[in-house]
Structures are given as C-alpha cells and as structure tokens.
Amino acid sequence: MSTENEGNEVPKAPSAPPVPVDSPAASSQGPTAGGTEPTAPLPPVPQNAPNATGPHPGGPAAHASAPQAPGSAPDGSWPPPPPANPPYGEGQAYGAGPAGAPGGFGADGAGGAGGWGASYQQPAPKPRNGRGGLVAAVLVAALVAGGLGGGLGYTLAKDNDNNGSTTVSASDSGATQVKRAPGTIAHVAAKALPSTVTIEAEGTNGDGGTGTGFVFDTQGHIITNNHVVADALDGGKLTATFPDGRKYDAQVVGHAQGYDVAVIKLKNPPSDLKPLPLGDSDKVAVGDETIAIGAPFGLSNTVTTGIISAKNRPVASSDGSATSKASYMSALQTDASINPGNSGGPLLDASGAVIGINSAIQSTSSGGFGSGQSGSIGLGFAIPINQAKYVAQQLIKTGKPVYAKIGASVSLEESSAGAKITDQGAAGSSAVEPGGPADKAGLKPGDVITKLDDMVIDSGPTLIGEIWTHKPGDKVTITYKRGGQEHTTELTLGSRVGDN
C-alpha cells in the first residue's frame, strides 16, 4: 500500500496555544488506557490432543520518540536550514526542541522528527514457546463448542421448518426512506466527497507517495499540501483520482514551502467540477464539530470526525528530507482521526464548508519515510483556510508565494519569554534590516517581542506563524521588552516573494 510523503513528527506542542492576553489559559489532559486479561480457567489438555504450537497474531506496535527542535543557530535567510530531526504530515507542534538560533523573520523554520507516510509493516508474530499443549486445548474446546452450536442450530432449524421463520426483515421501502438531513455527517460527506481527490506523486527516481486535495475552482485547480506534491517537482508525475474512479494527470501550478500549501491543475479537467465552499477560519470556536476527508494509508475517500480542540497552535513541520525547509502555521488543532494520506485534504465544519487543510499530526512513532509506524493519537493540525485561500490565489496568479515579514532576525531558541531579536543576522548581516518594518518601528537587537496585536508570543517560531497569518501591508501592534521595560509600537508588514 502506497503512502504519502506527508511529513513527520514535529516538535512537541507547547502546553497551550497563543491566546489573547485576557483569555483564561486552557489545559488539556489525555486519558490512559488499560486492559485486563481473562481469568477463567482453561480446560484440561486432553490426553490425545495434538501437541500443536502456533504464533499468536498481534497488531503493529508503535514506539514513542520525543523529537527535538533544532539546537544550532539557523541562518536568517530563506530557506531556513533543515530541522535536526525533521518529520511531517505528522507535524509536530513547536515547543519541544532545545536551543535554536537566529532566523530571518518570516523566513526561518524549525522542524521535528517523525515519519509521515510510513508504509505499513506487518510485525513478526509473537512466539508461544512452551505453550503447544495449551493452544491445542483451546483449539479442541473451540471445535467442540462449534460442533455443539452447529448441531443445535440444525435441530432448531429443522423443528421450525413448518412453523415459519423466526427472523424479521426490514422492508425495502423503509431502507430507501432513510433521511440524512443537512448538517448530519452523512449529508456533509455525500456533498463533499465528489469534490475531493486522492493525489499520487512520483519523482523521477521512482520515489513518491499519496495525499489528498480538494477542488478550488471550476478551472481545475486543486489545493493540497506542498509536501504532498514535493516528489513530483522537477519532472515527476502527478495524478488526481476522484471517488468515482475518474483519474487525471495534473501539474503543479505553484507551491509554498513555508506555508506548506500547493496548487495543482488537472490536465483536461471535466466540466462538472464543483468547488468546495470555503468557510471563515477566524470564526471557528473550540468545540465546533469537524469532518476530515482523505486517504489515510492509501485508503481513499475516508471520512473521520471530531472537534476543534484548540486554535492558534504554533506548529513547525518538515518533510524529513535532507534538503527540507521548515513550514510554520498557527494551526487549528482537531482530534478528528488524521493519518498519513490525509495531508492536503479538507477539514470541514458541520455545514460542509472548508475551514482548514489537514497538514500535520503529533505522532508517537519515529522513523523516516518508509519505516516505522505512525498514526493518529487525536492531535491533528490544519492550516486555517483564510490563510490557505490567500496563498492559493497568489500561487494561481504568479506561481510564487508571498510572505509577510517584519525585517528582523529572531532566535529560535525554546523559550516562554518571547521572541528575542538576535544581535546579528545571518552571515554577519544586520539583525534588523535597515529601512525595514522593524527598523522603522524602532525595534533593536536584544528586544524581546511578547505580543503581536492581542496574541501572546512565547518564541520565535510562534511569532513567525502569527506573522504569516497576515498579509503584506497589514498594520500590527508589537509589544516588546527592552531593559526590563515594556513598550509598544506599530509597524506595517513588509513582503518577500518566493521561498528562496
């Protein structure tokens, strides 16, 4: 079964997403699972029972790994250096890594480690050494019970031959009259599925994976994740398959590494395309119902449900490749089941409107593409659709992404104090771009940014993610500390075109 090159685990998520200053802090906790084994005595082993031995099949066992954020100082230019232990599609909420370093704002990234797109591997069966007689006894008991049940069933059926059937069948008319009202999961899924596609990307070297996308317009544009189509760049092959089996060749129109958004276009698109309606991710509330559609582990057209667990969750993720550059998002967090293959698919609200693009998950598994096992533990992250829509429109228009920036290099070191402007930029350049937005606003090296508008900033990556939710030209209020004193200033965000 092919899987997507989704991303790997990302740095550990902070305990709480950035929240307005006056908002109460939220806390979360996860249940622990336990189980008991049967205590009923087993039947004695018959003297004539065969001394059979056999393995006891078991499910795959996932092992946990705590990825770390980069510990060395990345340079401030774009693209940022690859994370020390990159991972994707199972993106990792930022905040776990140790030391980081200066990075060009709106440019640098951090990643984590993990294994998006890990292929399924059946584990070796567990041996049952010394239990041959025990297994045989259970087997005999099962066969006896089966024979007894069969005999009773035959007797009952024979006795009722002349008395009519004891079962009741539902009428066909009743089954066809089941109503799936607007707002129900079944109704939303039925409306949205025809507008989703399973994407297969294959590189010139034969590497590739599977992801998801959805119809953006009637011209044949499909939105997905950058890491889903990355293998098909530079001469690779890309196809998109609809739930009804129609398959189309496609090409990449534009991709944004930093945002982890890409737009592809179907070649010779059909005339009956129905774009999914786009919602307003700014109006989403914690607790709202969510519906995710994708191809987890290659299982196309899979629908899962959950709720919005948190908003504005800082996430840094990477595709795990040696040349990987980090992506940042101020994500919508959901507990809807998201697995490798869901990347790029829509996250819908209860009305069927797209509120996000499923992009990353926190996973307990480690390992790179094609190794290990990774899956949903109820911590999925989606790019807010308001941001993704803007990015997609820029990609369709020019083929290149446009990023907002403040024109300063900040430390990526893990911290809860804020985002510190470094003393020096990349390659010895100035940490504050001369004549840039930060310079004009009076910011200097050593200043620690603690808020952007009303959002608390606890680290450099959090600030990058928040800046990228804005557009160039937006005016924002920056709260910062200098020499222990708090100050505020306003600045107009600048712009940077392209990932390079």
Chain-centre distance for alpha carbon 48? 56
448 forms beta bridges with 420, 481
Residue 228 token pair: 């889903």
Chain-centre distance for alpha carbon 154? 53
With 0-12 / 13-18 / 19 or more C-beta atoms within 10 angstroms meaning exposed / middle / buried, residue 77 is middle
Q: Residues 343, 366, 374, 459: which is the catalytic one? A: 343
CA distances from 261 to 185, 192, 195 (A): 27, 20, 18
The span from the CA of 2 to the CA of 256, in Å, is 24
Is residue 343 among the annotated active site residues? yes
Q: Residues 227, 319, 337, 349: which is the catalytic one? A: 227
Task: Check if the beta carbon of residue 409 is closer than 8 Å to that of residue 419.
Answer: no
The DSSP secondary structure of 300-336, one letter per residue, reads -SEEEEEEEEEEEEEEEE----TT---EEEEEEEE-S
**What SS3 class is residue 197?**
strand
The residue to which tokens 């200098």 are assigned: 482
Question: What is the amino acid identity at position 305?
Answer: T
* E strand or H helix that includes residue 229: helix 226-229
Residue 368 token pair: 């790179």
* H-assigned helices in 328-477: 385-398, 437-440, 460-467
* Helix, strand, coil share of the chain (percent; to 5): 15, 25, 55
106 torsion bin: left (phi>0), alpha (psi -120 to 50), beta (else) = left
The DSSP secondary structure of 14-26, one letter per residue, reads PSS---BTTSPPP
Task: Check if the beta carbon of residue 356 is closer than 8 Å to that of residue 224.
Answer: no
Residue 108 token pair: 């640098």
The span from the CA of 330 to the CA of 379, in Å, is 14
Is residue 260 among the annotated active site residues? yes
Which residues have C-beta within 8 Å of that of residue 100, sequence separation ≥ 6?
Answer: 69, 70, 71, 72, 73, 74, 110, 411, 412, 413, 414, 460, 461
Q: Residues 260, 319, 349, 447: which is the catalytic one? A: 260
Task: Check if the beta carbon of residue 374 is closer than 8 Å to that of residue 387.
Answer: no
Residue 382 token pair: 């989606």
Count of residues making up the chain: 500
* H-assigned helices in 80-225: 132-159, 172-176, 185-192
CA distances from 456 to 93, 381, 382, 398 (A): 16, 20, 20, 33
Is residue 499 among the annotated active site residues? no
Tell me which residues are annotated as active site.
Answer: 227, 260, 343
